[in-house]
Structure 1
Amino acid sequence: MAASSIARSPVNPIVRHVICRASPSDHLSKTSLTIHGHYPKRCRHVPLLASLHGDTTRNNDRNAQALELQRVLDDFPYDVIPNDPTMLPTPLSSTQLSNSVSDGSRVRVAYQGVPGAYSESAAEKAYPNCEAVPCEQFDTAFEAVEKWLVDRAVLPIENSLGGSIHRNYDLLLRHRLHIVGEVKFAVRHCLLANHGVEVEDLKRVLSHPQALSQCEDTLSRLGLVKEAVDDTAGAAKHIASYKLKDAGAVASTTAAMIYGLNILAQDIQDDSDNVTRFLMLAREPIIPGIDRPFKTSIVFSLEEGPGVLFKALAVFALRQINLTKIESRPLRKQLLGASDDSNNGYPKYFDYLFYVDFEASMADEKAQNALRHLKEFATYLRVLGSYPVDTSMI
């Protein structure tokens, strides 16, 4: 594993070397980066500047990989950005994937957003006492895991009110990460504003599109103009930073505390049962078992034709396997405008991918037989992960 090029900041490097260490959270042996150097003890995040360009490669022999990484990165001149301990960590960006100093005893988990985001709370529920690493975009969180900068990523996949997060379905296909778990998190939205601002002073409200849609009735009743931003906590941070008097944010109570905002109203979501399901992603799959409830996620494509999807889903029904989710997404770069013989003269516009979750472990013979059956007529089939079901009380 090697970095092809590094963009460095003109500050004094104080980190001396990088060593490879197996993450204590993993059952499988793998390599993670731990930074050592002479720096004072600070808050849990100390951002570093280090841009990695190009894809990293992985050797089949993990011991050889660790030795090679040690050789290449020994005395590597990473630079540390001086940071006020009271400041919050800067989210990782796709063009500048920053590393954070870790003491090696906690799992490092990437999430999308800024501190105070619901995703951060979900990451801490999935991995208690983890070192949560904020990322600007969903893509960045995937890349951070692939580049060994973090151990895991926890990302939303669906909400009980807003539906599926389509971007993450597409990214699951684009990247080679594995689903190793799920966590369900109850989302309770609040209307936040700067101190001294009342509800009647507000003209607009900022938040993530999903959060705005989940509070549609309340926000419409208040007559507020809805403005979409990247994440809920980011909206809270924005109105606090610019001391806006005419704008509020839909975010969590944690975000209100972090950014010093006043809570004008609590539980403003349209339905009290507002739950978001998050996926836990890793570089390696876990070994599925049959000792507890398991779920398996797959993605497949089919040739067009009458009853083909029915036949695909029948492989599960014939074996009494319950489906919990099915999502269809267009297969990109497959737009066709001309008709062909297989469509009986009708224009063929899209090829589709089908994402399916079913209640069975890949250690179960009936699940293996179902996928063997499906593979007989699927044009593409990939297992995204087989992992324990989150049965905890939300």
Structure 2
Amino acid sequence: MALKSVVVLGVTNSQYGWKDLGSKPSGFPLNRINESEKVFKWMRFGGFPGLPACRAIRSVENENTSNRGTKLQQIVDQTENDVSRGLQKDLNSLPRPLSVSDLSAIPDGGSKARISFKVEFMVQGLPGSYSEDAALKAYPKCKTVPCNDFEDAFKAVELWLADKAVLPIENSSGGSIHRNYDLLLRHRLQIVGEVKLDCNLCLLALPGVRAEHLKRVLSHPQALSLSDILLSKLGVSRESVDDTAGAAQYVSLNGLREAGVVASARAAEIYGLNILAERIQDDFDNVTRYLVLARDPIIPRTNKPFKTSIVFTLDEGPGVLFKALAVFALRDIDLKKIESRPQRKRPLRVVDDSNTGSAKYFDYLFYIDFEASMAEPRAQNALGHLQEFATFLRILGCYPMDTTL
């Protein structure tokens, strides 16, 4: 039996999408499945500079099984040696030691993450934040690295200070995190996974302090708004801080016995606070969705539910957005979410071509999540169709869906 698959080893610098906003792409950088063979296998190793150029293992006809296995093993062994030498050479130039991350995404259920070494995750907020809980849910053995704000997390991964970043993108009660939608376009990181976290908001205080003793409560603005009913009953004042874990740390370090905190149960454990009440959110089904971001994309597959995220722009005209959405409906692709954001570089455009009119409207970016893998022909054909009238199109990532909730 012939060996039909082709495995590519090496490093590429390709990105899904095009650099200049508003420019028309010269081609559509998608790998199409060979319809006759129904084979779609490719693999990328590393992402480190200095690795050897691409090599291919082509089809081998009429070879016995043992010879094929021996030759493939020799190539794999040689590749591992090349990667090892490349890492040894390049790590000295990096600002800190890095580990090699795996090519797989979020592990199934609660199983151990399939990674070579511990992966460093950038998370917004101090230890005990909900973003850290999301990172630990995705990779229980990972090492988390806190950062001050969302953009710092993007930059840390781009500068090789961390392997991945975990950042919130939407909450079932509070809606979308628009800041992170803008940062997805501003930076070149790829979405490689998602995490849905059931957020348990807790009321915390120093040991010995009871709820009726509290005069004020500190937390992130969204956490305060999501627990409005309980806080109103307590009659406490509310003070906004950058993140929930930071509030817990502040109350603990300063011994503020009149102040409470809305944060996670893990924050209580880390900062030595007592849990006065759990699940204090107004809506008990409070879920936050997080994105896992990395420098390189992962391999799209069809053995589990995948989601693809894209962003595009359209020319003005009647029914243009309808046509854009129809490319998915025609192929039975389920749209999970659509988000529109004004373009920052040219947020307003004059309607009147003579430039004398006063009426203006926004130019919009459209972010769409759809339930299909880029390994499927229907997804490739849909984006090929969309490209015909989209003035800009970029694939933000293709990644496994989190179905644990």
* TM-score (normalizing by structure 1): 0.74
CA separation in 1, counterparts of 2:95 and 2:346?
45
Report matched runs for 1:72-111 at 5 Å. 74=92, 105-111=117-123
Whether 1:308 and 2:320 are equivalent positions in the alignment is yes
CA separation in 2, counterparts of 1:342 and 1:167?
35
- 2:402 match: 390
CA separation in 2, counterparts of 1:77 and 1:121?
27
User: Which AA in structure 1 matches 2:342?
Assistant: P
Instruction: For residue 217 of structure 1, report the CA deviation from its aligned partner.
Output: 2.0
Q: Which has the higher contact order (CA 8 A, sep 6+)?
A: 2
Match for residue 257 of structure 1 among 254, 263, 269: 269
Report matched runs for 1:97-176 at 5 Å. 105-176=117-188
CA separation in 2, counterparts of 1:29 and 1:69?
12
Instruction: For residue 290 of structure 1, report the CA deviation from its aligned partner.
Output: 1.1
Report matched runs for 1:1-394 at 5 Å. 28-30=44-46, 74=92, 105-336=117-348, 338-341=350-353, 347-392=359-404, 394=405
> For structure 2, which runs of at least 5 residues remain unmatched after alignment?
1-42, 54-78, 97-115
- 1:50 match: none
Instruction: For residue 320 of structure 1, report the CA deviation from its aligned partner.
Output: 1.0
The answer as to whether partners of 1:182 and 1:389 remain within 8 angstroms in 2 is yes
Residues 61, 76 of structure 1: CA spacing in aligned structure 2 closer, same or farther, 3 A cutoff? closer
The answer as to whether partners of 1:337 and 1:347 remain within 8 angstroms in 2 is no
The answer as to whether partners of 1:326 and 1:355 remain within 8 angstroms in 2 is yes
Residues 162, 76 of structure 1: CA spacing in aligned structure 2 closer, same or farther, 3 A cutoff? closer
Q: Which moved more, 1:365-374 or 1:192-201?
A: 192-201
Residues 301, 31 of structure 1: CA spacing in aligned structure 2 closer, same or farther, 3 A cutoff? closer
The answer as to whether partners of 2:46 and 2:83 remain within 8 angstroms in 1 is no
Instruction: For residue 254 of structure 1, report the CA deviation from its aligned partner.
Output: 0.7
The answer as to whether partners of 1:31 and 1:148 remain within 8 angstroms in 2 is no
Instruction: For residue 60 of structure 1, report the CA deviation from its aligned partner.
Output: 8.1
The answer as to whether partners of 1:304 and 1:343 remain within 8 angstroms in 2 is no
CA separation in 1, counterparts of 2:396 and 2:158?
15
Q: Taking every aligned residue pair, what percent have the same amino acid on both sides?
A: 63
> For structure 1, which runs of at least 5 residues remain unmatched after alignment?
1-26, 33-57, 79-103
- 1:6 match: none
Instruction: Give per-residue Cα distances to partners, 1:307-333, cap 9 Å, x unaligned.
Output: 221111111111111011111111102
User: Which AA in structure 1 matches 2:200?
Assistant: R
Residues 343, 285 of structure 1: CA spacing in aligned structure 2 closer, same or farther, 3 A cutoff? farther
Instruction: Give per-residue Cα distances to partners, 1:329-363, cap 9 Å, x unaligned.
Output: 11102133643249996722421111100000111
CA separation in 1, counterparts of 2:95 and 2:318?
61
Residues 272, 342 of structure 1: CA spacing in aligned structure 2 closer, same or farther, 3 A cutoff? farther
Instruction: Give per-residue Cα distances to partners, 1:174-195, cap 9 Å, x unaligned.
Output: 1111111111111000111122
CA separation in 1, counterparts of 2:90 and 2:44?
24
CA separation in 1, counterparts of 2:50 and 2:395?
22
CA separation in 2, counterparts of 1:107 and 1:76?
16
Instruction: For residue 120 of structure 1, report the CA deviation from its aligned partner.
Output: 0.9
CA separation in 1, counterparts of 2:317 and 2:203?
49
User: Which AA in structure 1 matches 2:307?
Assistant: K
Q: CA RMSD in A?
A: 2.9
Instruction: For residue 201 of structure 1, report the CA deviation from its aligned partner.
Output: 2.5
Residues 223, 308 of structure 1: CA spacing in aligned structure 2 closer, same or farther, 3 A cutoff? farther
Instruction: Give per-residue Cα distances to partners, 1:212-267, cap 9 Å, x unaligned.
Output: 22212222232222222111111111111111133211001110111111212111
Residues 368, 318 of structure 1: CA spacing in aligned structure 2 closer, same or farther, 3 A cutoff? same
